[in-house]
Structure 1
């Protein structure tokens, strides 16, 4: 009996290691896009990925034909959304914006944009995953895309405007 458990555990570990070897790079990139961190300095993305992979490993025997990549991506997205809700409230109220192109977007906009455009998840699946109407997902994705394609210039700092007015 003990040998059978050891053999099953070893097989499970090999299968999971093969999955991680094939999927971890893409999942880490998705997590990095979500957190809007730099690719070479992404501790939040790495933690998000590690927690998502741990969750997948814990439920590995219960997947029963489900795609482990899809399951891990779902957990990654829901964990990011929950963390953003707890950190910023309402997915991005008052917060410090991360640097970089995606930093201009709210966490909710980043999440939907990454799922839709980078991961290729259908609007209906994204809406179901996030508990939003399909129309809302479409609107948020369109707004996020427009923000990235047509960025607004940052408003002038009040100090610079005062200094400009003071010069003769």
Structure 2
């Protein structure tokens, strides 16, 4: 298709003029968006141009350019964030900024700090450190029954105090204790 006898710049321009429409169609089919397809084609043609002197001697210039196009599209697909796309109609849904969750977390930890030391220790070891009742009992030097009763009393106290503030237990999606602390 392209011979090495002429001017490489002119040969590349001729290649782009002849094949860019077909390559743009391929880019669109890969990306699903005309704007992204144009960007993809531009980057792919730039990469092809940078390798032009090496590939101009072969007859498979278009397959090379198409391969660059596909590889670039794959790279973009892996790297780019796909969560935001322009649209004519905006969705009607509110998105939480997380303030309510942070306020609930702060209220919870304010009440945890007010618990008696043993109850607080049991909650931290059981739910933050994720220890079993047996391990918690061994670490605190108490019986498993004591761990159970202290845990039950602490949770009842927290439920009551949070309920007084209008925070219902289980109103949000469940979280681990470690996520709650952060």
Q: Do Structure 1 and Structure 2 share a fold, with TM-score over 0.5?
A: no
TM-score normalised per structure 1? 0.43
